[in-house]
Amino acid sequence: MTKYIVEGGKPLFGEVTISGAKNAAVAIIPAALLVDGVCRIENIPNISDVEMLLNILDDLGAKVRFLTPTSVEIDSRATRSTQVSQELAHKIRASYYLIGALLGRFGEAEVSLPGGCNFGGVRPIDQHVKGFAAMGADVQEGDFIVARARDGRLRGASIYLDVVSVGATMNIMMAAALADGNTTIENAAKEPHIVDLANFLNSMGADIKGAGTDTIRVRGVERLNGGTYAIIPDQIEAGTYMAAVAATGGQVLIRNIIPKHMDCITAKLQEMGVCVIEEDDNLLVRRDGPLQRTNIKTLPYPGFPTDMQPQVTTVLTLAQGTSIVTEGVWDNRYRYVGELCRMGAQVRVEGRAAVIEGVDALHAANVQAYDLRAGAAMVIAALAAEGTSEITNVHYIERGYENFVGKLRALGADIRCAEVTEETAERQIG
Ligand code: EPU
């Protein structure tokens, strides 16, 4: 087990290059199972969620080969199984995409219920199941999801999502790509990774229109052929570095972003007194004055992303005045607040709102990462706090941030990895 040791209180300066988007990669890799040929996926982030998904594809019989550290070739023609090993599936939340991909290609899938980030609340997949059922699948839910197309192949259907769900939109889109007939997804999610998955599938021969709007139309095709596709840059990774500069002060050029994807985050940081300048596919972020209070509500795209909520709440702990952050996507995503308070933050959670009284400074403490984004928030808090902080459970962070420690060190941060001693590990488990 690894922990991070952070000597905080230093502003960040320099340049950081953003990797491929995690939440696009974790859908596009399973989607490669739909392809009856070879697909080459570029700009793959080097994170543990990707590694786990590639292991699952390999276990199912697909041939997986890295061409460069960021490009992988997947040949799904040799896939021989539609049963995903429980041990592998449990490690990653996004294993639910294997249901849509396997069901779409082979008419059956057996995948154990997903693991991955747990915010302490329920993460239902009823909308995914509703979509598959509408397309003619029998779906049994237990420890495993067992789904079978009644006629051997799914058929197109009209599906209205009761909640705007990223996962259900992508899963249904995958299942529909090879279905017999046309599928319409109404009240679809519009995140950049939805558009990226549609672009990937279309570049392999699918016929998907409307991704990025409320209504997605999929005309099922007989076969996907293969090809080459590059994943978009990670909006949330970029936003996390923006938040880090906002918290510590300094000036950082964030390279390889899509400016449009960053608008919702940029607008809020500007309200907080952070200077953000857009230059082609780069953003220059500078903070040299005091941080101002603001209110934020997380919403589906193009609203402010829930996956930036812990990081931006951390920045607001250092802003002058009272800020309110309202979580509009998940029921419960504030477990990390207790850890922030141990660093001197003044935050109280009232239902879906966090009320933040800005303080002049945070102080160092030993804290733990409760999940991926909460972990990133702990690192940001530790970078801003004077003194030495230790962060444990960093495997959560490594699920979704490529080379987080290395990229921060290149910006002048004093952060390093160390092994967790048995004593600390025991304390944590206890
Ligand atoms: N929901 C349902 N029923 C469903 C599906 C979702 O009620 O069948 C509800 C959820 O409980 C939640 C809301 O709908 O309240 C939105 O959930 P969504 O399905 O959009 O989330 P997800 O697909 O499971 C993805 C990302 C999350 C991100 C959310 C929202 C992946 C692998 N995960 O999850 O990312 O928070 O969309 O944008 O893409 C992260 O990267 O840290 C992360 C947690």
Contact 72, 64 (CB under 8 A): yes
d(CA 383, CA 98): 37
pLDDT greater than 70 at residue 139: yes
Q: Where is the domain boundary, 230, 261, 282?
A: 230
pLDDT at 282: 97
Residue 428 reports pLDDT greater than 60: no
Q: In what order do the strands lie in the sheet with 71-75?
A: 63-68, 71-75, 35-42, 224-230
Name the residue with the closest Cα to ligand 1, atom 15.
330
Give 349-399 pLDDT, tens digit per residue. Answer: 999 999 999 999 999 999 999 999 999 999 999 999 999 999 999 999 999
Asked if 167 and 222 sit in the same domain, the reply is yes
What is the tens place of the pLDDT at every residue in 295-319? 999 999 999 999 999 999 999 999 9
Bridge partners (DSSP) of residue 183 are 218
For 35-90, what is each residue's pLDDT tens digit? 999 999 999 999 999 999 999 999 999 999 999 999 999 999 999 999 998 888 88
CA quadruple 251, 387, 370, 22: dihedral positive or negative? positive
Read off the amino acid at residue 385: A
On whether both 177 and 244 belong to a single domain, the answer is no
Is there an atom of ligand 1 within 6 Å of 350 CB? no
Same domain assignment for residues 292 and 356: yes
In the chain, the percentage of residues whose pLDDT exceeds 90 is 90
Ligand 1: which residue has its CA nearest to atom 33? Answer: 23
Which residue segment(s) compose the domain that 337 sits in? 2-19+233-429
Distance CA 329, CA 312 (A): 15
pLDDT at 287: 97
pLDDT of residue 122: 64
Total domains in the fold of the chain: 2
The reply to whether 186 and 305 lie within a common domain is: no
User: Do 219 and 244 fall within a single domain?
Assistant: no
What stretch of H or E contains 79? none
DSSP designation for 232: P
Kindly indicate the confidence band of residue 118, based on its pLDDT and cuts at 50, 70 and 90.
Answer: low
Structure tokens at 56: 């699952």
Examine the domain organization and report whether 244 and 295 are in the same domain: yes
Predicted pLDDT at 430: 33
pLDDT in tens, 88-114: 888 787 889 999 999 999 999 999 876
Please check whether residue 224 is in contact with residue 33, taking contact to mean a CB–CB distance below 8 angstroms. no
Contacts of 111 (CB under 8 A, 6+ apart): 83, 84, 89, 95, 96, 98, 99, 102, 144, 145
User: For the domain that residue 195 is a member of, what is the CATH number?
Assistant: 3.65.10.10
pLDDT at residue 261, rounded to an integer: 96
Neighbours of 120 (CB within 10 A): 12
User: pLDDT for 215-254, tens place per residue?
Assistant: 999 999 999 999 999 999 999 999 999 999 999 999 999 9
Report the 3 state secondary structure along 245-270: HHHHCEEEEEECCCHHHHHHHHHHHH
| Residue 96 three-state SS | helix
User: Residue 159 pLDDT more than 80?
Assistant: yes
pLDDT of residue 223: 97
Q: What is the largest CA-CA distance in the chain?
A: 64
Higher pLDDT, 124 or 162: 162
Q: What is the pTM of this model?
A: 0.96
Give the Å distance between the CA of 167 and the centre of ligand 1: 6
pLDDT of residue 94: 85
Q: Is the CB of 235 under 6 A from ligand 1?
A: no
Residue nearest to atom 39 of ligand 1 (CA): 23
Where a domain ends, among 175, 202, 230?
230
Is the pLDDT at 121 greater than 80, yes or no? no
SS3 of residue 237 by DSSP:
helix
> Do 123 and 238 lie in a common domain?
no
Lookup: tokens for 393: 């459970």
Residues 308 and 180 in one domain: no
State which of 185, 214, 230 marks the end of a domain: 230
Any idea which of 117-126, 134-143, 169-178, 251-260 has the lowest mean pLDDT? Answer: 117-126
In this prediction, residue 429 carries a pLDDT of 40
Taking a C-beta distance cutoff of 8 angstroms, is the pair 392, 366 a contact? yes
Q: How much is the mean pLDDT over the chain?
A: 95
Q: Which of the residues are catalytic? A: 117
Q: Which residue has the higher pLDDT, 272 or 91?
A: 272
Same domain membership, residue 110 and residue 252:
no
194 and 261 fall within a common domain: no
Q: Which atom of ligand 1 is nearest to the CA of 373?
A: 42
Model confidence at 12: pLDDT above 60? yes
Lookup: tokens for 313:
């709440």
How many CB atoms neighbour CB 22 within 10 A? 25
In terms of domains, do 194 and 280 share one?
A: no
DSSP H or E stretch at residue 409: helix 404-410
Is the beta carbon of 128 within 6 A of some atom in ligand 1?
yes
Residues 201 and 237 in one domain: no
